[in-house]
Structures are given as structure tokens and as C-alpha cells.
Amino acid sequence: MTISSSLNSGVSGLMVNANRLATISDNIANSGTYGYKRVVADFHSMVVQQGGGGYSAGGVRSTTQRFIDQRGTLISTNNPTDLAIGGRGLLPVTTGFGATGGGNMPIMLTTTGSFRPDTEGVLRTQTGEVLLGWPADPDGTVPSFPRDTFDGLEPVAINTNQFVSNPTTRMDLSVNLPATATDAGADGQGQVMLVEYFDNMGTSQSLELTYTPTVPAAGRSNEWTVDIRDSGSADAVVASYTLTFDDTGADSGTLAGVTVNSGGAYDGTAGTLAVAVAGGQIDIRIGSPGSGSLVTQLSDNFARAPVVKNGSPIGNLDRVEIDEAGMVHAIYDTGTTRVIYQIPVVDVANINGLTAGDNQTYTMSAESGAMYLWDAGDGPTGEMVGYAREESATDVAAELTQLIQTQRAYSSNAKIIQTVDEMLQETTNIKR
């Protein structure tokens, strides 16, 4: 019985060392595989109930574990949609079939990937994994999605033939009007400025703002009337306002009040004029009464600063880039940038409990625990890194060292079997 248990123990030793050799071989073979996580075989003793003064060898068994939480080195690339995560967390992906088949998509997770547009503009890897994200609204804002489910995710599609126009909806006017123009005896000559804007069709239009001073019979009026004409409305006056300026104390030269003669309302808190043009409404910020005004009345010179506004003409999609928060920015040849997707970072309670699949992908399991979708860089997750990929977590030198140890251990267990065979042979010879 004791000899037989020794034989079984040697056989189990051969088996577990063969398993360890398999994990080492896998690790070395994937030392150049992006995103690969090394597998480790651990040994555990097996104890057989003893009795009667004898000893029975129980042997050894092995278990394997993939260390998904061990990160490889990030290396830079020249592709903006090569993605990695600078810390904890995984990217949500699906299969090519899931991306086009409709219904519930099979969700998988990965730590890195080289995503490129296919014929339909969907970002996918060479092995077919499709990147998932939350779609943004047309204005570039990402709606609120539930963070404990994958239901809001959809394949990230980049339409390279997409055209977009960005209408002007707001602008800041910084203008200084000459205070001397409102003195008694002034010539009453107005000041004209043109401001370009883009309507909802992407067409360039212009606003003509005519500032006319109120010339009093005596003293200084500190008052101007501004008439706004819109080229998109056949040069009609679309709004008119009377601006009054302060001339006392520290607030001298700043806006004191605005009277609406025609057109949109003035919001004193925001300091904006709601001007309706042919293509929609433009909020023109001139400032609030007091020190917050952008339009001033000082000295004897008319001066204007560059107008700060949004909007752009129609443009072609030039490229996409992904920032550290996981926002996918579409960049057009007109210089316009718009967020089109947000890629969340997935985290689970036990990342090493995920089930490994092909192509460095993982799926949820009972051991991985609950998941949560984070904004990249928030909570326990790392920032998203574009133009980067994660190298294999394999340390080739360490694996080769373990390879030598495993070979010696295998040879030693084979020696046990050889010794037991010789002892059994001696037992057989007793009969002779």
C-alpha cells in the first residue's frame, strides 16, 4: 500500500508539473501579445487519512489563476484609437456579430485594443472586437446613463463621410464707446461694426451693429442706441436697445442699464441679449450692469476686441481623438470639435475572477462580483490613454527560471516512479 501510494504521488507530481509547464509555455508564447495577462499554476498538498502506524502519500494537485490585475507597460503608437487604461479598469467590447445582429449584445471586457474603422465606420480590432460607448447628443453633451448595466452602450461608429455645421448660438462683444460722443455739442456720428455668424445651414451671415450716441442739449447723456441688422433677414433691424452707462465713482464707464426698444429680452443676470436672427437665436453677451460689463464707455476712442463666438461653416470629419476622460472627439477640417461618444471604464469587485476568453477578452462570472461603469479617471479607475497599447505582462526571464525549476521537479517525480518500479521488481524477485 505504501509503495503504491508512492507511485501515485509521483504520478500526481508529473501531472501538476506538466500543468505548470503548460502555463509557462503559454506565458512565454504570449510575451509579445498586447494585453496578455500571465497565468500561474499553484500547487496544493493532498493529505490522506493516516492510521495503523503507516504512512500513505497523498500527492499534490494544482490550480491555475490568471492575474488580470497585473498591468503591462504602456507603449505609444501613431493611431489615436489605440486605447489602454493607465490603471485599474477595462474597456467594454462586443463581437462583430453582436454589433450588427441587434438585440442584446454579448458584452466582453479588455484592457487594451487597437481599434480602427471598418467599412461601416465601426471601431473594431483585427480580431473582431467592437468598441462600445455611450452616444452623445447632437450638441456634444452625453446624457445620463445607468452605471450598473450595459444597456445604454452601443458600437462606436465614426462616419468619415459625415458633414456637420455648427450654428452660432452665442457670442461675447467687447466694445468701448467714446464717452465724449455723448457730450453736448458732439456731432452725433454713430459707430458701425460687423460680426460674422453661421446660421443653422452652415452659411456665413453677418450682424451689423450701429451704435448711435444720444447728444443732449447740455452736459453728457451717457446713452447709446444700438440697432442690430441681420443679413440673413434681408438686412432688416432685428433688435434695438438703449445702453446707459455709469459716470460716477469706481463704476464709471461701465454699463448701468439696458432698455429693450425692440427684439429679444435682456437678461441682466447673465448679461445677454436674446437676438432672433434668420437661423435661430443668438445670445449676445454684453455684460451685467456694474463692473461685469463687456461694453464700456470711456475716453474718446471707439475700440473693439475680437468677438468670441461659437459656430463654424460646414466641415468634413478630419479625425477622431479620445481624451483621458474617455470622450471621443470628432475633429473637423474647419477646426470644429464635437464630442460624439463617451467610453466608460468597467470595474468589478474581483477583477481576477473574470473568465478569460480569446483575444485578451474577459466575461463576467460569479466570482468577479458586481460591475460598475465609471468615467475614466474617476473612482478607482485609471485614465484612458489614446495613442497607446498595453504590452504583455509576461516577464520572460522569470518564466525561463520557472521553466528550469519545473523541468527539475518533473525529472525528480519521474525518478520516484523509476524507484518504485525497481522496488516492485525486487518484490517480484522474492517469488523466484
Cell numbers found for residue 203: 452659411
Out of 202-211, 282-291, 298-307, 311-320, pick the least confident: 311-320
Most confident of the ranges 8-22, 101-115, 211-225, 411-425: 211-225
Q: What is the Rg, in whole angstroms, of the alpha carbon atoms belonging to the chain?
A: 37
Residue 288 grid cell: 451685467
Chain mean pLDDT for the chain: 91
**114/386 Cα distance (integer angstroms):** 10
Q: Is 19 helix (H, G, I), strand (E, B) or coil?
A: helix
Of 10-24, 198-212, 377-391, the range with the highest mean pLDDT is 377-391
Residues 80-106 have a mean pLDDT of: 83
Whether the per-residue pLDDT at 233 is higher than 60: the answer is yes
Instruction: Return d(Cα 23, Cα 66) in angstroms, integer.
Output: 10
Overall average pLDDT of the 233-243 stretch: 95
Q: Rounded to 5 degrees, what are φ and ψ at 296? A: -125, 165
Confidence of residue 162 (pLDDT cuts 50, 70, 90): low
- Measured CA angle at 385 (ends 384, 388), to 5 deg: 145
Q: What is the pTM of this model?
A: 0.74
Question: What span, in angstroms and rounded, lies between the C-alpha atoms of 141 and 377?
Answer: 19
Cα angle value 207/209/214 (rounded, 5°): 165
Q: Note the pLDDT of residue 47.
A: 82
Per-residue model confidence (pLDDT) at position 337: 86
pLDDT beyond 60 at 102: no
pLDDT value at residue 1: 55
pLDDT at 58 over 70: yes
Name residue, grid cell 463666438. 309
Domains of the chain: 2-67+393-431 (no CATH), 79-162+336-382 (no CATH), 170-310 (2.60.98)
